[in-house]
Amino acid sequence: MVKLVGIAGSIGEESYNRMLLQYISKHFKDTVEVELLDINDVPQFNEDEDDGNSEIIQALNRKISGSDGVILATPEHNHTVPAAMKNVIEWLSNKVHPFDGKPVWIVGASYYTQGSSRAQLHLKQILESPGVNAIVMPGNEFLLSNAKSAFDENGDLKDQRTVGFLSMVLKKFLKFMKVIDMMDAPDPKNAHEEDMKSTNKVNTTVEGVDMDDPEWVEKAADKTHAASGGDYVKLDRGLLTVDQLNWFLNSMAGELTYADDNNQFIYYNKNADAAHMLAPRTPDQVGDPLEDVHPARVVEHVKQVIYALRTGQSDVVSMPAQQGPNQHVMHYYRAMRDENRRYRGVNELVIDIMPILKYYLAATGQKLVKDPDATPISPITGLDAVTGASAHSDPTADATSGASAAAAPEEEKPAAPEVDATSGASEETEEVAPTPAPTPEPETDATTGASEG
């Protein structure tokens, strides 16, 4: 669900602008999630006293930065914005800049017929000034006049035409946010333009921390005041602590890697030390640009994979890495997209499918036999149909998003057999052939291990 934050420019106990935000939050709760931010305790701005670490200001900074958009509800004092609203913007445009590139919708309520129109115009000019750089939705002003009589005893707007107009403007703001979000997205024109140095800035980039810092995770977490330990995280369909998320992800059957839409390597599930991983990764690599965690010889190949996912040529690219009589490791790259279908990075799964294959054969009583009519497909040829990669690319290229730059020399890697990029069946591996008659059910539940007897 879209997450918005709302700020009322009044710090009075009874604020019609706060009531307006509360109504929006309540009435449209099935469409958007609106969190109201309190500015009552924000001190008077003094540039000499702003070191950028004030907890009150940092809390506002985190909430605004983490939101999809902002609603500002301003009263009108002497034909302009109230001092409290201007004061908050001063704090949030000096050492920290959460409004930069953020979609903003201005609304307002006033006692009289003007509906804070002059204050809204002035606030728009402030928000678009250098140092603030908010992106304010043009037109579509919502001006609630005669605010004293506009609400009923439950805090609901009385006039249904006003409610209808408010609903229409909110829908336009949601569309406006989508446009701004897509404008922020990196837009390479071809695979060669994929920025493997992660020099673009996207709206989830942690600024002020060197990407190549081996302590990037710790410093970025400190910079963003990230949740940790027993702190709860609200997910689409769940509520977990950070500890629970780590336990959950680290217990996955495969190795998971997340590289964001700026091609920055930002996560892997550490379920083993690098020496015991199928695709070795080390903690100090997290935060690095993708170019820094791949051998130079494979960077162009990685660009092709990412470009195919980013542009929607494919939502999944798969390829084998190591094969042998007792191991067949597959890499699956899936595009991650947000609610607007914007590409948000690549989710890589590395898994040895041999145990799954062996279980399937044992459970069904089947065996592998060679298909004389099969036409083997090489890993790169299989990829061609998806990404347009050259068939002459290095077939041993490591396209993993978390591969160590200190990977084994090419001569130490086993030559990759001709492999079907989707199924992983090699020319040396025999195809699965069904037996002519059904086989008895196994005695044990394959999932739980419980005996059927």
Report the distance separating Cα 210 and Cα 81, nearest Å.
38
Query: What does the pLDDT read at residue 270?
Result: 92
141 with 22, same domain? yes
Is residue 292 in a domain? yes
Q: What is the CATH number of the domain that holds 64?
A: 3.40.50.360
Is residue 214 in a domain? no
Is residue 230 in a domain? no
Query: What does the pLDDT read at residue 294?
Result: 92
Query: What are 203's two structure tokens?
Result: 């709206």
Is residue 232 in a domain? no
- Last residue of some domain: 184, 211, 240? 184
Angle between helices 379-387 and 299-310 in degrees, nearest 10: 40
126 with 266, same domain? no
Report the distance separating Cα 59 and Cα 124, nearest Å.
23
- Last residue of some domain: 126, 160, 184? 184
Q: Supply the pTM of this predicted model.
A: 0.71
Q: Are 304 and 389 in contact (CB under 8 A)?
A: yes
With a cut of 50, list the residues of the chain below it in pLDDT: 380-453
Report the distance separating Cα 413 and Cα 416, nearest Å.
9
Is residue 280 in a domain? yes
307 with 396, same domain? yes
Query: What does the pLDDT read at residue 314?
Result: 92
162 with 263, same domain? no
150 with 267, same domain? no
150 with 274, same domain? no
Query: What does the pLDDT read at residue 448?
Result: 38
Distance of CA 364 to the CA centre of its chain: 40
171 with 277, same domain? no
174 with 258, same domain? no
Query: What are 306's two structure tokens?
Result: 């990412």
Query: What does the pLDDT read at residue 377?
Result: 59
The single residue listed with the structure tokens 């897509």 is 182
61 with 171, same domain? yes
Is residue 200 in a domain? no
Structural domain count of the chain = 2
Q: What is the CATH number of the domain that holds 323?
A: 3.30.450.20
174 with 313, same domain? no
Is residue 16 in a domain? yes
The number of beta carbons lying within 10 Å of the beta carbon of residue 293 is 26
Which range of residues forms the domain containing residue 323?
Answer: 252-433
Query: What does the pLDDT read at residue 390?
Result: 34
Put residue 115 in one of left, alpha, beta given phi > 0 → left and psi -120 to 50 → alpha.
left
Q: Euclidean distance between the first and final Cα of the chain, in Å? A: 46
Q: Are 283 and 270 in contact (CB under 8 A)?
A: yes
261 with 405, same domain? yes
Q: Annotate 191-228 with b (16+ C-beta within 10 A) or e (fewer).
A: beebbbebebebbebbeebebeeeebbebbeeebeeee
pLDDT (tens digit, 9 = 90+) per residue, 39-65? 999 999 999 988 878 899 999 999 999
- Last residue of some domain: 154, 184, 214? 184
296 with 419, same domain? yes
Query: What does the pLDDT read at residue 378?
Result: 53
Is residue 193 in a domain? no
Query: What are 295's two structure tokens?
Result: 């051998």
Query: What does the pLDDT read at residue 387?
Result: 38
Question: Taking Cα atoms as reference points, which of 25, 140, 10, 12 lies closest to residue 75?
Answer: 10
Report the distance separating Cα 84 and Cα 8, nearest Å.
9
